[in-house]
Structure formats: structure tokens, C-alpha cells
Amino acid sequence: MRTTVTTTREQCKYQFMRGNKKNFAMTMLTVFLNAGVNVSIAFIMKSVTEAMQFMDFKIIRRAVILSVLTAGAALLMGVLQKTFRNRYMKTGLSQFKMYVFERLLGKSIGSFGDTSSAQFISAFSNDLSSIEANYLSANINIVTQITTFIGGVIAMAYINWRLMLVVMATSVLPCYVAIKYGNRITAKEKQTSAQNAGFVGQVKDLLNGFVVIKSFKAEKEALQIFDEHNKQLEEVKRRRRETGDMVSLLSESSYTIVTIILVVVGCLFVFRKTMTIGGVLAFVQLSNYVLNPIHRMVPLYSNRKAAVSLIYKLADTIDADSDEESKTRITSLEDKISYRNVSFSYEEGKKTLDNVSIDFYKGKSYALVGSSGGGKSTMLRLMMGHFSRYEGEILFDGIELRDISIDSLYDVVSIIQQNVFLFDNSIRNNITMFKDFPEDKYRTAVELAGLSGLLKEKGDDYECGEGGSNLSGGEKQRVSIARCLIRETPVLFMDEATAALDNETAFSVSNAILDLEGLTKILVTHKLDERLMRKFDGIVAISNGRIAEYGTFDELMAKKGYFYSLFNVSQ
């Protein structure tokens, strides 16, 4: 597992450079040349000061020529750096986000469900902003500071190596601050990221429950919950800023001390006539190129470490199922789906399914019925691979589900659920999921789902709106049904798929699906319509996580047991 995580971490970092080396190299070249331009400014100051001190017009002319060349070079380097830096940033960020989202889509339903979506929302907002500023930009800025530092030291040594040694010795103090306090910023950044993810999750829950909050007049309570999480987040951010400010304050103080020592020692050298005034002024200018990098490296280094930890955290979160490629791939259902002594719990100590054993044979139709919370929908979710922590065995043609590639499983099974997700796009694209299907398949799915009238009235290109807001609940459900039918998978699950439809439409859709030949159908339903119940090859009555009864409609009615009671109550 560690190897896989490391690979994912390195792949995340690699995305910033993949196909981006030219832009990065050109950016670095401008950084190096820019360092030379900056050092030239110090020598211009030295020349001008010495020209005034010694009244030498030749030195003035050289300073003017050097100034013009420096200004031109600075302008050229600025234009080139802006161009290639922005290209590097754009390409790196685009590829990183694409890779992360691609890996996210590669996760299984079960593993995705184990991770709060708020974590990913936070990662694509707060964390990504931090990664952009404190990793991608910092990589360039760190090289800039190091290059400037080296250029400053070389220039200082050229002017007066003794004073250069004084500056380097006194620079130990700001270096000490960087090393001692850098890790504190990294820890605070991690805390801020975690707290922000929790805050985003809470806001998401409150917005999802907006209708409930308004209906029950719970605005005050909702506001209190928001206020509590908001204050917690801002307190963590305050401590993060406070730590950064303290590091900056210590760095600035040590920077001031070094500058004072430089000026005092430089004056002594002038008094002894081992340096000119211009040389001291050049040293003051060059000290900026030595001390400023040290000062800036404190937050740059610390923030970069924090950003790398965010990259690694995201990499660990998106790390897809590593053993997927080694699992068995299936292409069809040849015999049956079997439950063998299956037990499952969402919460420890509370079984949702308890020792369930049953066979669902190819080409047959089955109804799962029973009271709410009995475990019907859970049986479908387990067969869709949502969870792997069940006891017992779930077999597809004798192959244990946990040994089957989930990707291949979805070529065999599909599910129509009560909760419908729709893209803010056309009805056609929501049915086809943006894929190409033969027109006859598309029309057949539309007709079986009862959508012909809607499409005749509004057209295939009618926009569904955000979350399907332009469609009624029944229309959205019919789109979901058509979406599932067009795939023509050999196994079809329906989980209360007709609950949002009126009785007549629900019967029509369910009846059409049950009439499909060669398709293995397992339907969870509360609508015990006798006309439909008689069409099922088997009815599984589930109570408290156990199979209470199993048989055809006539067999169960003759028993006058659990199903008999359910049916009479429903009528």
C-alpha cells in the first residue's frame, strides 16, 4: 500500500511538470538573467557615487551606458518571465486538477462513499489556492531568491571579501529563525485545511436541508450551527496568520540587526580607506539581495512545506483501489447471483442484513418487498459493489464479488434509483450520458420509460436545468429509467424507481420493464400491484434484515403469512 501511495504522491507532483519543462526552463533562465540585472544596479550605484566623490566624468559615462543596458535587459527579462511563467502556471495547474479529478472518478463507489465530498470541495477551492500560491509559484520564487542570494554574495566578494564575510556571519540569525519556526507554519496550514473541509461540509449539509430548515422554522438553530463552525474556522485561520506574522516579525528584526552591523563595519572600512563610500553604498544595495532572500525564504520555505503536505493529503485521498487490475473481469451473467450467509451492518452492533441466503437466476424477475429499513435497498447496494465489508459471500456465477473488477461489474449490472441526478444539459445527453447510441435504441428506451410525450412536446434538446430543475419529479425519474434501459445491461436493479410516478404511469413503466426478455431484473418496491406481482418469478419478503418468506405471488398469498399481511395493508 505504501508503494502505491508514494506513486500517487509523485504522480501528483509530476503533473506540474508533464509537458511543461520548456516553460519552466525558460522561466528559470529569465530568473538567472534577472539576478545579473539586479547585481548591475549595485555597481551602477557604486560608479555614480565614486564619480561624484572623485569628480570623474568617465565613470559617469560608463554608469549611464550600464544603466541603459540594465534597463533594457530588465524590460526584456520582465516580458519573457511574465510570458513563460504564466504558461507554466496555467499548464501545471490544469494538468494537476485534471489528474486529481480523473483519479477521483477512478475510485469505487464504496471507497468514495467512505470519504466526505466536502474534503474534495475544499481541496478544489481552499487547498488548490494554497498549492498554486505556496507550491507552484513558490518553486519559482525560491529559485529566484537563491539565485539572487548567490549573485549578491559573489558581487560582495568582488568588492570587499572581508565585509562579505561579516554579512554572511551575521546572516546566521535570520537563517536560525527560518529553521526553528518554519515547521510551525506547516502544522498550522494542515489544521486550517482540515477545519476548512469541515466547514464546507457543514455549509453543504445546511444548504441541502434548506427546505427542511424553512419548513420547521429552524433558521435560528441553523444559524447557530453555522456560527459555531464559522468561528472555529476563523479561529484556526487567526492562529495560522498569527504564527506567520510572528515568523515575519522575527525575520524583519534580525534583518534590521544585520543591516546596522553592515553599515557600522562599512564606515570603519571607509575611515581606514580600504573601501570607498560608493563601495559601502553598493554593499548596502547588495545586502538586499542577500538578506531579502533569507527573509523571504522563511515564509516561502514554510508555506511550500505546508503546500506539499496538502498535495500529499489529496494524493492519499484520491488513491484509487490499487488491486483493481488484478481482479477478475466479467462480461455477462451466465447462471445466477447468489447470497451465501450474508450479514452487513452500517453501524457496529446493528445488523441491516442478517445471514441472508438466496439465488437470483439469469433471465428471471424478482421483487424485494417489506417494511422500510428492512434491508431491501442494502441488498442492491451490496450487489452494486458499494461496500465490501460484509460477512459471507455474494457470488456472480460463482465468483465472489470482492474478487470482481468493479469496472467490469458495471458493464453487467445497472440500477435505477429513486434519487435522480441530472446534468444541467439536454434530455438526450442526460439519457445517453453524452455517449453515442443507435437512434433505434434511444427511441426504444424513451418509449419504455414513458418519455415519448415529453419529448414530443419539448424536444430532445430541452435543457433539464441545474439538478433537473426544469422537470417534474416524475419526468426526472423517467429520464433516469431511460438512461438505464439504453445501456441494455444483462442485469437491471430498480430501487423504488417508480415512487415519484403516478400509479398508472408507474404500472406502465414497471410492466414494460418486466416484459423485457432475457434480462435479469431485481426490483425493490412498495407498490404491491397484483397485476405486477403475478409477473415476478420470485417475491422476496424481507423483515428486519432477514428473508421472512420467498415464493410466487400465489404461493405467498396461500401461506397467509408476512407477505399476505403486507399485500392486504397496501390495498
pLDDT at 380: 94
What local confidence, expressed as pLDDT, does residue 512 receive? 81
Range with lowest mean pLDDT among 314-323, 437-446, 483-492, 500-509:
314-323
Instruction: Give the model's pLDDT for residue 297.
Output: 76
Reply yes or no on whether the pLDDT at 503 is more than 90.
no
Instruction: Give the pLDDT confidence of 119-163 residue by residue, as tens digits.
Output: 677 677 778 888 888 888 888 999 998 998 999 899 989 888 888
Mean pLDDT of 351-361: 94
Q: Three-state DSSP class for 351?
A: strand
Read off the pLDDT band of 2 (50, 70, 90).
very low
Report the candidate in 285, 520, 297 with the shortest Cα–Cα distance to residue 415: 520
Task: Output the pLDDT for position 461.
Answer: 92
pLDDT attached to residue 1: 40
pLDDT-derived band at 321, boundaries 50, 70, 90: low
Residue 4 has pLDDT above 70, yes or no: no
Residue 173 in this model has a pLDDT that exceeds 70 = yes
Tell me how crowded residue 434 is: count the other CB atoms within 10 A of its CB.
Answer: 11
Mean pLDDT across 325-336: 88
pLDDT at 111: 65
Q: What is the fold, at CATH topology level, of the domain defined by 336-570?
A: Rossmann fold (3.40.50)
Q: What is the mean pLDDT of the chain?
A: 84
pLDDT at 445 over 80: yes
Q: Return the pLDDT at 5.
A: 43
The pairing of beta strand 520-524 with beta strand 538-543: unpaired
Distance CA 142, CA 163 (A): 26
Region 468-490: what's the mean pLDDT? 86
- Give me 443's grid cell: 427511441
Distances in whole angstroms, Cα of residue 292 to Cα of each of 41, 132, 139, 157, 248: 16, 22, 17, 18, 12
Q: Highest mean pLDDT: which of 171-175, 337-341, 469-473? A: 337-341
Decide if 495 contacts 524 (C-beta within 8 A): yes
CATH topology of domain 2-322: ABC transporter transmembrane region fold (1.20.1560)
Residue 571 reports pLDDT greater than 80: no
Digit-coded pLDDT (tens) for 523-566: 998 888 899 999 999 999 999 999 999 999 999 999 999 999 99
Query: 202-206: which pairs have CB atoms within 8 A and are 24 or more residues apart?
Result: 202/118, 202/226, 202/229, 203/229, 204/117, 204/118, 204/121
Neighbouring C-alpha atoms within 13 Å toward the C-beta of 431: 32
Tell me, what's the pLDDT at 480? 86
Q: How far apart are CA 433 and CA 450, in angstroms?
A: 18
| Cβ atoms < 10 Å from Cβ of 419 | 10
Residue whose grid cell is 424477475: 365
Question: Could you read off the pLDDT of 376-397 as tens digits, one per residue?
Answer: 999 999 999 888 889 999 999 9
Half-sphere exposure in the Cβ direction for 118 (13 Å, CA):
17
pLDDT at 3: 43
Mean pLDDT over 18-35 rounds to 91
In this structure, which long-range contacts are made by residues 261-267, counting pairs with CB atoms below 8 Å and at least 24 apart in sequence?
Answer: 261/166, 261/170, 262/163, 262/166, 262/167, 262/170, 262/287, 265/163, 265/166, 266/163
Query: Which stretch, 63-77, 82-96, 185-199, 215-229, has highest mean pLDDT?
Result: 82-96
Q: Which residues contact 508 (CB under 8 A, 6 or more apart)?
A: 450
Which residue in 468, 478, 469, 483 sits closest to 498, CA to CA? 478
Domain with CATH 1.20.1560.10 in the chain: 2-322
pLDDT over threshold 90, residue 398 = yes
pLDDT at 527: 83
**CATH 3.40.50.300-classified regions of the chain:** 336-570
Q: What's the pLDDT at 28?
A: 92
Q: What is the pLDDT of residues 238-280, one digit of tens each?
A: 988 888 787 777 777 777 787 888 888 888 888 888 888 888 8
CB atoms within 10 A of CB 319: 20
Q: Kindly state the cell numbers that stand for 515.
A: 416484459
Span 336-355, mean pLDDT? 92
Please give the average per-residue pLDDT across 44-57, as a whole number. 76
What does the DSSP 8-state code read for residue 56? -
- The confidence band for 359, taking pLDDT boundaries of 50, 70 and 90, is very high
Whole-prediction pTM: 0.69
Whole-number Å distance between alpha carbons of 312 and 307: 9
DSSP-assigned letters across all residues of 217-280 = T-HHHHHHHHHHHHHHHHHHHHHHHHHHHHHHHHHHHHHHHHHHHHHHHHHHHHHTTSS-HHHH
Confidence of residue 194 (pLDDT cuts 50, 70, 90): confident
Answer whether residue 91 shows pLDDT above 80: yes
Alpha-carbon distance of 351 to 455, in angstroms, equals 45
Average pLDDT over residues 312-335: 79
Per-residue model confidence (pLDDT) at position 443: 92
Give the orientation angle of helix 172-208 with respect to helix 161-170, to 10 degrees. Answer: 40
pLDDT band at 116 (very low <50, low <70, confident <90, very high): low
Output DSSP code: residue 537: S
- Can you say whether the dihedral through the CA atoms of 549, 555, 557, 558 is positive or negative? negative
C-alpha cell at position 444: 426504444
Phi-psi region for residue 545, left (φ > 0), alpha (ψ -120 to 50) or beta?
A: left
C-alpha neighbours within 13 Å on the C-beta side of residue 520: 18
